[in-house]
Every structure is written in structure tokens, then in C-alpha cells.
Amino acid sequence: MTSIDETHDPAHKSWVESANDPATEFPIQNLPFGRFRRKGERGALRIGVAIGDQILDLAAAGLIDTDDMNQLMAASAADRRRLRRAISTFLGHREADQKALDCLLAQSDAEMGLPCRIGDYTDFYTSIHHATTVGKQFRPENPLLPNYKWIPIGYHGRASSIGVSGESFVRPNGQIKAVDAETPSVGPTQRLDYELEIGVFIGTPNERGESVPMADAEARVFGLALFNDWTARDIQPWEYQPLGPFLSKNFASTLSPWIVTMEALAPFRSAFVRPVGDPQPLPYLDSAHNRLSGAFDIQLEVWLQTPKMRAAGHAGERLATSNFNDAYWTVAQMVAHHTVNGCNLQAGDLFGTGTLSGPDAAQAGSLLELSQGGKKQIHLANGETRTFLEDGDCIVLRGYCERSGARRIGFGECRGTVLPARSRR
């Protein structure tokens, strides 16, 4: 269990003045990790932490001796806590000398890469509200399959097509079979969707054949990021039976560039409680700590900026909000279940939570839910409508934590834009 210490003190200030702005997502209490280089340079990505509107180069500051983010992530939880304290002390309120200032780069002058090398990617299905709403569209009488309340459902995705916030990606082609068609056809998806997710990054690895118990599960996690698992909803239903998602998912996914560490999230933990009447988790998925504070109170938002909005200088319109606190399965349970068979996780492995929707209709984490499977048009304030995404549309995910007695922290943006499909040869 990650405890609250002096690095979380809401009164703690930094000599980086922008970090003391109440509006910043990156105060000294946050210190999320990412990889960066100066815009226009071709050098290797360096490891930094976001502090206000700046990036602290950790190697230049003498705080680490590696540019290998995966190596840093693989350290023990105790070593990671020591590094956090050292960074907090370095950035603490004191007279900033030139040497310290030379370790900073403005975020506006930086090019961000993926936070680490992602070896393997697993996508889960942790939101019972999403699973139920989508299930009703296909199985009105039985929306949840019998195993949902017993197993953290997941599938193995593709890591090579995961990109960093700010990317544009091509609308995918695929095989589609309309309900009233005798045979399928191949063409661009007409039902392109986003999925509002949290990305969970593995830190300390486990050996092959070693099951990670619940008591040790969170110590294996480095931190969390925002994650958008783009989905082609008309390719998906034709291909996913009997083996699950394939080409409807693996064409693009987008990550925010900053990993908010488990240590930074310590003040924003919540109790994990199952609804009355639901089965309690099996023993290997249960622990006293998980019941007491296994959930995370992370407020999430989805914003849409259409080409028309962009041309008018409009930043976009918020489509939905939800909270990670409403997930049916916790981070620790995902790790424990993923390894119960002896699967060896490695530093930099990524879990997606699956679409995070809340109990209310306005908390839907996908257009599939908001548009009721394409049956209901979503009316935007500028007069435009959507059921699914159109070319040029930009989706921005945002997330933040705030609680009385703690400094508000954020995750930055997870932004991606749809490009037209390419012609098939």
C-alpha cells in the first residue's frame, strides 16, 4: 500500500513558479513521468517529470543515471518512493540556481514520445455499466455473460499501433457484413468510435510461473495514464465471434504522454465495494487493502472538436464524464488475475481498463452508448450532429483527481484526430 508522506503536502511549493498555479495539472505533488526531446531534434528520448509548464530532465539533474524508462520502471516500489522524494526535494521551494534552471525545458518546446517501450498490451472490460449498456444492444434479455461478475475479462491487443497524444490516424478499412446483406464487403468503417479508458503500466516484473498475490499486486504497477482504444463498431460484430476483437481494434490506440505514479495517486484512493447481492471476489482476487482503498477517484472527460469547430477557433465540446471509481474491477485485481496462471508481466506492459462508463446515460464512455448503437443523433451546440466519428474529428480525453486536503493533480491530454481512409490497392 502506498502511503501519504511529505511529498503530498498541499502546502509544498516549488521554485518552478508555474507549478504553484492552482490551475496547473502538474504541481509538485504530482510529478508524472514521460519521455521527451526538444522539438526539431533527432536525439534519443530522455526521461523527465512534468512540473508546472516545464519538464525536469532527470538525468541532467543528477537524479537518475539511465535514459531507459523501462529499467527505471522495473525498480522496486521502495526505490520508486525514494526517487519521488529526491525529485520533490530537488524541486522544492528554494533559490533556483542556474544549474537547476538548465535542467528544465518548457513543455511547449518539447516533443513527447510514448512514456516507455510497450512490450505487451492487454485490454480489460472493467466497467459493468459499459458492459451492461452494450450487452443490451445485442442481448436485451441477458446483457451480461455469466462470467462477468467472477472474472476480470480481457483480451490481448496489439502494442505496435499504440501512439502518443497528438497523433492523427487513418480511418481503417475492414470486412463488414450488414445485417440484411447475404455476404460481407470490404471498405472504410462507417462507425468509428472512441473508448474512454485508463492505461495501467506495469513496473516491477514477475517471473514466468509466478502468480502475483493481491497483497503484492499494486507494488508491481508503476502508474496510470489516459488511454483511447479506437474501435470500428461495424467491423467488430462480424469478426469477434468466436475469438474476440481483432482488426476492429488494432489499427490505432492513443496514450497520454505522462504516467501519473501510484505514489502520486495515494491521496485519491477509495473503498472497493460490490453491490448488494453480487458475488464477492474469489479469494485470489480479494484483500483487506483492496476492500479498504482499492479504487481510484479519477474524474474523466471526453471532448470532441469537429473540423468546423477547429476552423472557428472553438476548443471543442464536452460529450461525457465518468469516474474510474465506478469500475467493477480494480487495478490490483487485474494484475492478480493476469498472473494467476503464471503469466510473466514485464516492465512497460500496458493494461487498458476497457471503456469506463458510469451509471448515468451522460457518463457513457463511447459513442456506441451515447448514440444507442447509432439510433440516436448527438446534437452539438454549433448545430452539427454525430452518431459516430467523421473524418477530421478530434477526440480529447482529460482526467484529474481532487479531494479536500490534497492538491489537485491531472493527467494532461490524450488527443487523437481521424484522417480519411486510404484507398485499397
User: Which residues are the active-site residues?
Assistant: 130
What single letter denotes the amino acid at residue 258?
W
Our CA dihedral for 378, 382, 388, 391, rounded to 10 degrees, sits at 180
Q: Which of 412, 406, 413, 418 is nearest to 7 (CA)?
A: 406
> How many CA atoms are closer than 13 Å to the CA of 423, on its beta-carbon side?
1
Integer CA distances (angstroms), 168 to 230, 318, 392, in order? 12, 20, 9
* DSSP alpha helix (H) spans, 18-114: 69-73, 77-91, 98-101
> Are the C-beta atoms of residues 53 and 128 closer than 8 Å to each other?
no
Q: Which of 322, 62, 53, 80 is nearest to 201 (CA)?
A: 80
CA distance 34 to 14: 19
The distance from CA 175 to its chain's CA centroid, rounded to whole angstroms, is 28
CA distance 304 to 293: 33
Integer CA distances (angstroms), 5 to 78, 206, 406, in order? 13, 27, 12
CA distance 196 to 208: 31
In 147-251 the beta strands, taken as DSSP E runs, fall at: 154-156, 162-164, 167-170, 173-176, 185-188, 192-193, 196-202, 221-228, 231-232
Helices (H) and strands (E) in the chain, counts: 10, 26
> Are the C-beta atoms of residues 240 and 202 closer than 8 Å to each other?
no
Q: What are phi and psi for residue 303, nearest 5 degrees?
A: -120, 140
